[in-house]
């Protein structure tokens, strides 16, 4: 088999067969296929697309390119959740204990954030003592005992994806639905999930700017899941403004705890319940979405979800006193309000700009080895549709050092748009694809 013939076939828009896709992935992983030929094929895929079969085969070939995590020692159905990424998205901190509170095991392998704010691991590490470096034995034992464990990703999962993603980044081939879908799903499958709930974000702060594009990506991922015998559900949710009011690390943990204690943070509670409901239905614990939603809502309000969070934090060495009294979580020394210059209604909050402003304060990493400052971040006081008076606070910056404070302030100020006429609030959940 020759790579040049595979490129030619795809350039003509024909369907590649399993052997051809495996030849490409194996050859590229073991470096017998050079970057220039892989680039040519990626560009042909970008223009000609891939069929459902090709996309599933590509995903499986990327899973097979490295190690896979075996979760068979964990009792019960293994359900995972994945978000395509958004600002202020702390839903994993809520869905994990919430799903665990009805007895469904959550074995979560997570990543660190590169960019705006920390990832789930960074947010959790703002709780003193909490470790995400678990041995495989501890990880399994904690899930079996407490129904929830969160650990850093170990092992060489889907190395083909890692190499291809880096190549796509420099060959203008990232924005291809079959390539994005197979990239995300290969990592989920390699980490052992049996069922997967995908939170596909759409809007100005998301990778997919329109509901139409988010729907295409969600459809492609659900089809991969179904083709590879993983029950998969995708929820398309809004990222035209940050989720909840807190953006950072410790302050996001605090907001997640408040939701776990029943506080009605409207969008965050609603989305967490939506995702957790689908997770528990896929796990077979509830017969319907409505039953799941009702039971889970009860567990937010009766303290069971928070109890599950506490047990998880204690099992991973975290200081439980900090989550029982959130004022003990790391916090910044100084605070600065960003105020509105005109009266009106909030019509836009550029989520990406808020994320970048939080990173300027030290809440995220600009480079891989940067240290995160857990206490800094941004609190929003207004969301889209809210009325605001001139001089009223739109947001508060929590900071320790003055360098980049002006940049952060300007970024947040510029993120808000104020209209003179009333503005409708945004949809939170656009659709669910099964």
**Residue 347's closest CA among 426, 272, 293, 286?**
426
Q: 168 an active-site residue?
A: yes
Kind plus residue range of the DSSP H or E element containing 301: helix 289-301
Choosing from 146, 168, 223, 382, the catalytic residue is 168
Q: Residue 183, interface with ligand URA (CB under 6 A)?
A: yes
Q: 294 an active-site residue?
A: no
How many CA atoms are closer than 13 Å to the CA of 190, on its beta-carbon side? 27
Provide, rounded to whole angstroms, the least separation between the CB of residue 377 and ligand URA: 24
Residue ranges with strand state E in 215-306: 231-238, 246-248
Provide, rounded to whole angstroms, the least separation between the CB of residue 345 and ligand URA: 34
Q: Residue 109, interface with ligand URA (CB under 6 A)?
A: no
In the list 16, 58, 106, 180, the residue contacting ligand URA (rule: CB under 6 A) is 180
Choosing from 39, 183, 277, 331, the catalytic residue is 183
Distances 209 to 86, 203, 236, 239, 242 between C-alpha atoms, Å: 12, 4, 12, 9, 14
Q: Residue 184, interface with ligand URA (CB under 6 A)?
A: yes
- φ, ψ at 244 (rounded to 5°): 75, -160
Q: Residue 149, interface with ligand URA (CB under 6 A)?
A: no
Choosing from 80, 89, 122, 161, the catalytic residue is 161
Provide, rounded to whole angstroms, the least separation between the CB of residue 203 and ligand URA: 16
Q: Residue 289, interface with ligand URA (CB under 6 A)?
A: no
DSSP track, 8-66? HHHHTTPPP-HHHHHHHHHHHHTTSS-HHHHHHHHHHHHHH---HHHHHHHHHHHHHTS
Choosing from 10, 90, 146, 187, the catalytic residue is 187
- Closer to ligand URA at the Cβ: 179 or 247? 179
- φ, ψ at 89 (rounded to 5°): -85, 100
Choosing from 10, 78, 81, 82, the catalytic residue is 82
Number of residues that bind ligand URA (CB under 6 A): 6
Q: 237 an active-site residue?
A: no
Contact 400, 362 (CB under 8 A): yes
Q: 82 an active-site residue?
A: yes
**Residue 125's closest CA among 158, 148, 151, 162?**
151
In the list 26, 165, 167, 430, the residue contacting ligand URA (rule: CB under 6 A) is 165
Please give the residue ranges that form the binding site for ligand URA (CB under 6 A): 165, 174, 179-180, 183-184
Query: Which residues form the catalytic set?
Result: 82, 161, 168, 183, 187
């Amino acid at each position: 088999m020759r790579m040049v013939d595979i490129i030619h076939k795809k350039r003509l828009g024909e369907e590649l067969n399993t052997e051809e896709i495996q030849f490409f992935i194996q050859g590229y992983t073991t470096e017998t296929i050079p970057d220039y030929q892989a680039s040519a094929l990626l560009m042909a895929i970008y223009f000609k697309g891939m069929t459902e079969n090709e996309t599933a085969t590509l995903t499986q070939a990327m899973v097979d390119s490295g190690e896979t995590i075996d979760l068979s020692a964990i009792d019960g159905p293994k359900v995972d959740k994945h978000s395509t990424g958004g600002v202020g998205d702390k839903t994993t901190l809520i869905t994990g204990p919430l799903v665990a509170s009805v007895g469904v095991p959550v074995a979560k392998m997570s990543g660190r954030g590169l960019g705006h704010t920390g990832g789930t691991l960074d947010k959790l590490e703002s709780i003193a003592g909490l470790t995400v470096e678990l041995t495989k034995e501890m990880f399994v034992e904690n899930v079996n005992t407490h129904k929830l464990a969160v650990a850093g990703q170990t092992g060489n999962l889907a190395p083909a994806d890692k190499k291809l993603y880096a190549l796509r980044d420099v060959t203008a081939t990232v924005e291809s639905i079959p390539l994005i879908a197979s990239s995300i799903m290969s990592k989920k499958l390699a980490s052992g999930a049996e069922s997967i709930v995908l939170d596909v974000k759409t809007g100005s702060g998301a990778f997919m700017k329109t509901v139409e594009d988010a729907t295409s990506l969600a459809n492609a991922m659900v089809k991969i899941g179904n083709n590879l015998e993983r029950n998969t559900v995708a929820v398309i949710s809004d990222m035209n403004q940050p989720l909840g009011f807190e953006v950072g690390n410790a302050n996001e943990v605090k907001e997640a705890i408040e939701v776990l204690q029943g506080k009605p943070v409207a969008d965050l509670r609603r989305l967490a319940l939506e995702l957790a409901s689908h997770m528990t239905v896929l796990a077979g614990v509830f017969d319907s979405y409505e039953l799941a939603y009702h039971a889970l809502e009860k567990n937010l309000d009766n303290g069971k979800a928070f109890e599950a969070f506490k047990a998880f934090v204690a099992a991973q060495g975290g200081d439980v006193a900090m989550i029982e009294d959130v004022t003990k979580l790391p916090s910044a020394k100084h605070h600065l309000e960003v105020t509105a210059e005109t009266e009106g209604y909030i019509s836009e909050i550029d989520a990406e700009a808020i994320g970048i402003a939080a990173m300027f304060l030290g809440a995220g990493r600009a480079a891989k080895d940067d240290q995160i400052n857990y206490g800094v971040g941004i609190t929003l006081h207004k969301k889209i549709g809210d009325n605001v008076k001139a001089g009223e606070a739109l947001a508060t910056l929590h900071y320790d050092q003055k360098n980049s404070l002006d940049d952060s302030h300007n970024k947040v100020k510029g993120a808000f748009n104020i209209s003179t006429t009333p503005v409708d609030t945004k949809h939170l959940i656009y659709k669910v694809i099964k």
